Chains A and B, each alone.
Chain A
């Protein structure tokens, strides 16, 4: 009761602080100007910003970029619901895009530009998401430590002879999840489980948050082998041409499943208030110039049939891709995660 009287002494401070706080909250930047698009991007900022800057230079449409993890952004979009300020979602994994589509977050598109530019196996049936570039899950090896003919298939890497000789991404990585899904769909649960158990025991503590760290470790000879997306290797070689590393395209043997492919892609958020501008961006990304820019920045394979990949990359026609439809990655995600968890992959 007597403490009531103690309040006024502090009142002014408290009140003014509260006012400040609320002002800060209300007047915080919220991208809603007509000529501004908000893009949630699961792709590293340095690999997407130049493309978006080129779009801004072409059209005058400003872009607010939120770069983060792919799954994290999909989770955020779900939590935000219709209140989200996002207009587009760009991710590094078709499975996540398909999950976002099935969660009703994305808007189906009827655009001739898309149909003409991107082959249908690289986009959703209703074009709610559109693939922009292709990446392959490959083996990177240190040339001074491993002969390329020692590994034929990803599944070979579960062999105990590679104990402590392989680095892998952590199980939160969407590439790993998508890769395991493809193996699961090709070889079934039991074989996949054995593969994961072997991989877990072989990798032991060599489990990395980022694939770039894996390539670095292989280049330095800390570990002879790693599983990463192909472009991490080419990006590393572009800055350090002398590094003793190379790409091993797995599962190309007779009857093998083919290299595991995934795409980076874009979708327009259902609740967008800037549909026309958002469509312009999609159009820009699927057009030849945009495709070249988008794929080359990250040393990926453009999906537009008429656009050539970076010459440093292995010729696309020189290897086979696994025949698992991209849309299937979404329905396989849950069983894959259960399997990963059962095996106890970190």
Chain B
């Protein structure tokens, strides 16, 4: 029986190995193609895998997709990190139990909303309002509306993980700060937050990797043109957005476009896996510092 249970546990390692083998194997097929070079993939600033009718002229440079991903992610983080952290401080330091009883379920509900719904929300509400307030300065599909929706998506995650970290700071530190005459603001910002910094940073990293891997929102709201720019008003296809676009185009198995899917997924996996790993390690290393 124990052996069976151990087998279950080893299966999880098998999944990781499976992902890595699959990504490397299929990406290898992509690099082997005569239309593609590794250096062109890593440094190219044009991505026209699906736009070019002629495979000879298709460009496979990852940077437009990376820049699209980064634009969306940075906008999302500009919303999720400060708002999430402040919500966490509010919940753990100030909120009365009655306010908590409203705020906590609200955050849980937001966390449980399917991402395709938030994508629809971005198209239905966020993008038209942006166009309205900017006087038409935004494309219909743009990085900002997708970024805002992804930010909403990440906010509950940041706030609940940060709140856990803030809770772990012992009460004595707060009492010490109050005893020295600190205001609640000073106690929260100068004592409690630094005390929980490792947990907060790990929450930030996890949210960052979640935002990078987010798919349905960007597939609906960020557009299908891969642009290498820093302008958040333009269309910006992300790595995940390209994968969806590619699947929708129903290219046959074995074409270069098909294998490019895996090269993009590999890039995505390396980035998110690295960030999650660092986040986990930070949390593990400093987690029990107070106990």
Are A and B a genuine interacting pair, yes or no? no
- Interface residues of chain B, those whose CB is within 8 Å of chain A, are none
- Interface residues of chain A, those whose CB is within 8 Å of chain B, are none
